[in-house]
Structure 1
Amino acid sequence: MWEWSCGLLRGVSPELDRPGLLCEFAVGFVQDCQDTYEAMASSTVRQRSVGEELKDKRKEQRHLKKIKDDAETKRKRKIILWILALTVLLSLSVYYYNYKPSKGRQQTPSPIPQQAPSSGINDAKSSNQSTTKSEPSSKKSPSTKEQLSKSKSKKNKSSSEKVSSKKEKALPKKEKASPKKEKASPTKSQKSGPASKSREELLKTKISDLPILRRPVPPSDPDRPLIMEILEADDYLKGGYYSEALDKFKKVLKRFKQSPRGLLGKALALEGLGKTKGSIKYLDKAIDIYYQISFEASSLANDDIKLAALMGLADCAERREKTTMLIKALKKAVVMEPMHEVYATKLAQAYMKGGQMEEAEKLLEDVINKWPGNSLAHANLGYLHYKGGRFDKAMPHLVKGLSENREIQKNPKFYLYTGETLSRLDKTEEAGLVYAEGVARGFFPSVDQRSLYNEPDLEARPWWKVNEVGEQVLVELEKMAPVLKSELMSAIETNADMFSDANQTQIILISKGKWNKRPCTVLPTLCQLLHKMPSATKCRRGETKVLLIPGPVHISSHIGLTNTNLRALLPLNLSGPLKIRMNKDTRELREGLVSVIDDSFEQEMLYTGKGQSLILTVDFWHPDLPETKRKKLSTL
């Protein structure tokens, strides 16, 4: 187009060269533009082709990878199928050889016929004869070699058949004795009778022994669609992975908020975390969920799940020392299962912890009437009679519980209760045997020293001298005895509110290492002296107090809790003799003089004075106990 137009211009005005030059320039410019455009188009086409090639390569790689993955999965499936087939075959063979041995041996005939040996031998002979007659021995073809090898194999088979036939001939001797066993075996009608019932009962007991989350779920149960997730979470729970189990049960509850097994599993996981980590927060959360399952009307749980929740609630409430919650849970468990002796016995123990001794005694008597062999109930009822001073009633129950129940045998307190009961009934030999058994089990340091919380390598003596314990403050207390007496007498007359009990019999100054500030305001001299004695002020297992005895009194034999303390006694006012028996050594205390005793030995006190008496008692650490152990020991 441009060239034609330029030609016209040149033909019209050949003189003028400028229009032609312009046209040529324009034509060149247009051609250059066309070339650049074509070059750009070809480059984009090339880029597109390269991108498509990369895409195709990726598609091919994905396709190949998919083919490889499919082949790998097929191979794995084949392996799994082979393993399953082998396990099925093995289980069938084990079942056959374990449960059907007599049928396979007696009813199936022997697979080897009796006439087979003779026929086989004759056939071999005839074949050998025919081959020898037809062809000479010198010329043996390959067919004759094959026939000879076959004849040899037949001979070997015939010899094995002979051996088997000999065994079969010996079989009838065993078969003659077998009919006696067959007569004793039950028939099919007998097997389908009471034997099947016993199996059903065994199955029921096995199901009841299963964990609550592992028991069969009926089709109408609301947890049926979630049973696989619940079992997976229970696996973590059984392995002790409580935090993972808690997450799994939370996922179950997201799908179904009122899932009974989901709630129970969550509570069990929280209880496990609370026990392992010692966290009160987790235990309180578990108590809330247990209570929701057991008592709320919206709960969808069946009786088995409710009973499991009640037992969990009782356990957590006992750990948290919530006695009312414990009694409430066990009461409902007894209502749901009135013939369950474990629930009834636990309820009686809960009554005892709550101080409801009359209800506990009635329930324990009822339990013993229903289940006379319940040794735990016997032991607890004996303890109640012992505390009530009814030693004649307590003795048979304590002896039965201590001799038959393993849990009671692990509790050293029942050795003390039983021994003291027997000694009160003048059965000292039997009491000595009980104490000796406690020493053999490692509960007591010796028969005479029967404290419950003991430390080794401490010198044990009933009586100590003041200069042997290394406490100079005790000597100062003796010197200041008249001043302390007058200070106490005036404080008692004017300050009745400093007594620590309603009967006004004791003034506690230090208890478990903590001061009582109120008495020190009116007894400054005594408190100043005691501040100089750190073994008494920091003694977390004892008390420092003033005893006020209004008249004659007899304190029966008793024993302190631990051998880590000694006790100093300072009578400040006596109107009569005061005698103390430590083990077998009886001594009389005098006013204004300090006596030191080890109250881990058996002791008894008798005061025959008619007037009022004042006695200062100071508990302090044993001198042989090192300072490192003193800091580690807990309170009692």
Structure 2
Amino acid sequence: MSVAVWENELRLLSDLVDHPSEGTNDWWELVDETASSADPLWQQGQDRWYQQDYLVAMQAFQQSLVPLDLAWDEHQNQFLDNSESSADSFNDYHDASEARDRAVQLAHRLVFCSYCESDGNQVKQARKHLIMGLYLLLSNRNMRTKANSKETTLLNDAWMELMLSFEEDPACRILARDVAEMAIKSSKGRGVGNCGWHHKMQRPGYMVPGLKGTPYISGENQPAWCKTLEDHWEIILDEYDDIVKSKTLSVVGAGDRGSGQDDHRVVGAGSKWTEYVLFGTGSSTGDAPATKALLEQHLPDAVSLAQEGGGEIIFSRLAPGSHIQSHCGPTNIRWTGHLGLIVPESAESCKIRVGDQWHSWQEGKILLFDDSFEHEVRNDSEQERVVLLIRLWHPDLKTNQRSSALEAARTKKDKAVEKRYAPPF
């Protein structure tokens, strides 16, 4: 489906975000009348799931949601036919605790089913169920003002899954920004319902509040260590040359090291992105001694982050004609630096976009940015691009906060995986 089609699909959700005081009785009445009869089917799906009969379980889950699908389709058609929201205020019944609990239960089912569908490459159905789940949660007045932590987590999980569904689809990637903007707008004034994002271009999976979001750090605002590495860049390049003469660089995301195994998802078709790890999981001893000594002396923040498993320091090579697709890093607790070592002659043919601005590398110069902002890399030249890639702690994150912030990011990622394997009641 094209961007235009999905923009249309998102209109009903967008309208509710823009007009949060409105809801639709018809949608709720249809759900209330039909959805309860589907409970036995959902239970059958659960039973099959825990018997590891996942395909049959998924079919039961989807079948149990058919009444909701039909009600949603009718409601959406009415909305689109009117070309405006025909929503009425919720009546007292739909603000009642029973209706609220039922809405949360149905939203849980819709979001979980979307996980199964997404993992099964049923992208269209997954997105539809995420939109439906978000609408159920956002259209309840009580939930808008008194959402508890579990409901907030469910809401944010749905926003994240929908955003990633578009971000990972080259044809519809631009819509990831629209989803993030809706999530941010719906969070304003919500209190515990805050999604954590503040800018549609900064969409990491884990956000530490209070850290300044700066997509690109210009030369005059860079820390002192940048100048030190720039002064020694030719030594670093010589050590890179020594390594590639005797050793093979690993394909990024190939699983040769414990971290970074999801990085292959952002490598464009026909592209080649390789690395050699200096600090972090998969690193070797005895190589690039001068480079490592410089980093340990002048950039201990980067070394400690790599040693704690929150990043890495690598030689990064992007082959000619390669493209690293638009994406956001996993968390805002770190910055990323690139020291240009081998840069194609034409700056226009090899560049990086951070946020909505394009930048080019220079040999012997540091390019510093916050990779939690949307970014992509293009090497449209006929030459390779090589940088010393450095991850380092965000400067606003206090030393005594670092380990706990990294652990919280890991915990959130682990829980996000666990939720995909635990069907709700």
| Range class of TM-score, shorter chain | 0.5 to 0.7
Change (3 A) 1:461 1:497: closer
- Report what 2:183 is aligned to: 434
- State how far apart, in whole Å, the 2-side matches of 1:610 and 1:538 are: 36
Counting aligned pairs with the same residue, the percent is 18
- State how far apart, in whole Å, the 2-side matches of 1:510 and 1:361 are: 42
Change (3 A) 1:555 1:451: same
- State how far apart, in whole Å, the 2-side matches of 1:591 and 1:384 are: 46
- State how far apart, in whole Å, the 1-side matches of 2:369 and 2:47 are: 40
Change (3 A) 1:433 1:504: closer
- State how far apart, in whole Å, the 2-side matches of 1:459 and 1:542 are: 19
- Report what 1:530 is aligned to: 295
Relative to the length of structure 1, the TM-score reads: 0.40
Change (3 A) 1:369 1:456: closer
- State how far apart, in whole Å, the 1-side matches of 2:215 and 2:292 are: 28
Residues 567, 596 of structure 1: 8 Å contact kept = yes
Residues 422, 431 of structure 1: 8 Å contact kept = no
Residues 187, 195 of structure 2: 8 Å contact kept = yes
- State how far apart, in whole Å, the 2-side matches of 1:345 and 1:633 are: 35
Cα drift, residue 384 of structure 1: 5.5
- Report what 2:128 is aligned to: 396
- State how far apart, in whole Å, the 2-side matches of 1:341 and 1:404 are: 18
Unaligned residue ranges in structure 2 (runs of 5+): 1-38, 69-105, 138-142, 144-149, 257-271, 411-425
Does 2:61 correspond to 1:367? Answer: yes
- State how far apart, in whole Å, the 2-side matches of 1:579 and 1:497 are: 22
Change (3 A) 1:430 1:599: closer
- State how far apart, in whole Å, the 2-side matches of 1:474 and 1:346 are: 57
Equivalent of residue 461 in structure 1, options 168, 189, 214? 214
- State how far apart, in whole Å, the 1-side matches of 2:107 and 2:121 are: 21
Q: Higher relative CO (CA 8 A, sep ≥ 6), structure 1 or 2?
A: 2
Question: Aligned letter for 1:450?
Answer: R
SS of residue in 2 equivalent to 1:432: helix
- State how far apart, in whole Å, the 1-side matches of 2:382 and 2:340 are: 15
- State how far apart, in whole Å, the 2-side matches of 1:361 and 1:571 are: 49
- State how far apart, in whole Å, the 2-side matches of 1:589 and 1:348 are: 50
Q: How does 1:129-278 map to 2 (within 5 A)?
A: none
- State how far apart, in whole Å, the 2-side matches of 1:466 and 1:499 are: 31
Change (3 A) 1:564 1:350: farther
Residues 322, 380 of structure 2: 8 Å contact kept = yes
Change (3 A) 1:380 1:460: same
- Report what 1:37 is aligned to: none
Q: Which protein is bigger by CA-based radius of gyration?
A: 1
Q: How does 1:45-64 map to 2 (within 5 A)?
A: none
Question: Aligned letter for 1:543?
Answer: E
SS of residue in 2 equivalent to 1:475: helix
Unaligned residue ranges in structure 1 (runs of 5+): 1-337, 352-358
- Report what 2:42 is aligned to: 341
- State how far apart, in whole Å, the 2-side matches of 1:595 and 1:401 are: 41
- State how far apart, in whole Å, the 2-side matches of 1:361 and 1:465 are: 51
- State how far apart, in whole Å, the 2-side matches of 1:461 and 1:504 are: 26
- State how far apart, in whole Å, the 1-side matches of 2:279 and 2:50 are: 33
Residues 416, 435 of structure 1: 8 Å contact kept = no
- Report what 2:388 is aligned to: 616
Cα drift, residue 634 of structure 1: 3.5
- State how far apart, in whole Å, the 2-side matches of 1:554 and 1:347 are: 42
- State how far apart, in whole Å, the 2-side matches of 1:612 and 1:543 are: 21
Cα drift, residue 537 of structure 1: 1.3
Question: Aligned letter for 1:489?
Answer: D
Cα drift, residue 531 of structure 1: 0.8
Question: Aligned letter for 2:185?
Answer: A
- Report what 2:162 is aligned to: 418
- Report what 1:571 is aligned to: 340
Cα drift, residue 452 of structure 1: 3.5
SS of residue in 1 equivalent to 2:213: coil
Q: Deviations for 1:330-358, whole angstroms, at most 9, x for unmatched residues?
A: xxxxxxxx95625735875997xxxxxxx
- Report what 1:505 is aligned to: 274
- State how far apart, in whole Å, the 2-side matches of 1:388 and 1:586 are: 35
Change (3 A) 1:496 1:456: same
- Report what 1:521 is aligned to: 286
Equivalent of residue 354 in structure 2, options 582, 597, 602? 582
- State how far apart, in whole Å, the 2-side matches of 1:623 and 1:531 are: 17
- Relative to total residues, which structure has the larger strand share, 1 or 2? 2
Pairwise CA RMSD:
3.6
Question: Aligned letter for 2:208?
Answer: E
- Relative to total residues, which structure has the larger helix share, 1 or 2? 1
- Report what 2:204 is aligned to: 451
Question: Aligned letter for 1:474?
Answer: C
Residues 342, 385 of structure 2: 8 Å contact kept = yes
Q: Deviations for 1:65-88, whole angstroms, at most 9, x for unmatched residues?
A: xxxxxxxxxxxxxxxxxxxxxxxx
- State how far apart, in whole Å, the 2-side matches of 1:522 and 1:555 are: 27
How many residues matched?
A: 287
Q: How does 1:623-634 map to 2 (within 5 A)?
A: 623-634=395-406
Change (3 A) 1:534 1:387: farther
Residues 48, 56 of structure 2: 8 Å contact kept = no
Change (3 A) 1:474 1:463: same
Change (3 A) 1:452 1:504: closer
SS of residue in 2 equivalent to 1:629: helix
